[in-house]
Amino acid sequence: MKKGVVYLIGAGPGDPGLITLKGKEILESCDALVYDNLASKEFLSWLPSRCKTFYVGKQAGCHSMKQDQINELLVQLALEGNKVVRLKGGDSFVFGRGSEEILALKEKEIPWELVQGITSCVSVPELAGIPVTHRNVSRSFHVITGHTLKGAQSEKELASYGACEGTLVFLMGLNNLNTISAGLIKGGKPANTPTAVIEDGSLNSQRVIRGTLKTIYEQTVKAEIKKPAIIEVGETAA
């Protein structure tokens, strides 16, 4: 049987209008969809009726499917001759494990194609009115994971980010916000550095909390901010 193809498509930050035309066209003609938690269910309404769907994200209270199993599922579907879409939030390669999936496909000589997505690390702050750079204010931006296998980043790592000029953007950091802000202050960021947290960026439910490194944790607890959320630290957050 002829091998199928796997398309790794980035869905963008949530608003279905922010996927690419190419991504939408491929979704409208695919045979199988493998997807995680998506901010909008509208993507599913674009699929042809023949399309088989496989949800591999976290179920309430349970773990998501293991990466090895996801890789295997993609390989299997392609070997059956399907046009497969692997759809992920944002861009597949920004903390998205897209490259691990491509390595697994390469190993089995499965054809694959990439369709980039708009990553949340720039789009979510921008939609909240916070640019990641601004002339004479922020000359660089740094995208950092706020969650590692051990919890937050180590004190040493956070201190080195605290010493960075420019804007700091933390993804997956909400649970560790207290540690992150304390670590940055310890590393040299002034406690009154403007800091914002954006929940559900690009969706109708979007909420933005603005404060400083010192106040932001308590503000987000008080406002009961939930995931997904992005933390932005730096003058542009003001």
Among 33, 87, 164, 198, binds ligand SAH (CB under 6 A): 198
- 36 in catalytic set: yes
Any idea what the Cα angle at residue 107 is, between residues 106 and 113, rounded to 5°?
Answer: 15
Please tell me whether residue 132 binds ligand SAH under the rule CB under 6 A: no
Site for ligand SAH in 67-96 (CB under 6 A): 88-91, 94-96
- 1 in catalytic set: no
String marking each residue 152-181 x if it binds ligand SAH according to CB under 6 A: -------------------xx---------
Any idea what the Cα angle at residue 68 is, between residues 151 and 89, rounded to 5°?
Answer: 65
First to last CA, the chain: 58
Among 85, 213, 229, 233, binds ligand SAH (CB under 6 A): 229
Least Å distance, CB 98 to ligand SAH, is 8
Please tell me whether residue 202 binds ligand SAH under the rule CB under 6 A: yes
Please tell me whether residue 13 binds ligand SAH under the rule CB under 6 A: yes
Pairing between β-strand 83-88 and β-strand 5-10 as defined by DSSP bridges: parallel
Place of tokens 């660089």: 140
> DSSP code of 123?
H
> DSSP code of 186?
H
Which window, 28-36, 77-85, 148-156, 199-207, contacts ligand SAH (CB under 6 A)? Answer: 199-207
Please tell me whether residue 201 binds ligand SAH under the rule CB under 6 A: yes
Q: What is the dihedral of CA 12, 15, 17, 18, to 10 degrees?
A: -20
Pairing between β-strand 194-199 and β-strand 141-145 as defined by DSSP bridges: unpaired
Q: Please tell me the distance from the alpha carbon of residue 78 to that of residue 219, in angstroms, as a whole number.
A: 47
Among 4, 16, 125, 228, binds ligand SAH (CB under 6 A): 228
Query: Quick check: helix, strand or coil at residue 157?
Result: helix
Which residue ranges make up the site for ligand SAH (CB under 6 A)?
A: 13-14, 39, 88-91, 94-96, 119-121, 124, 171-172, 198, 200-202, 227-230
Which residues does the annotation mark as catalytic?
Answer: 36, 58, 172
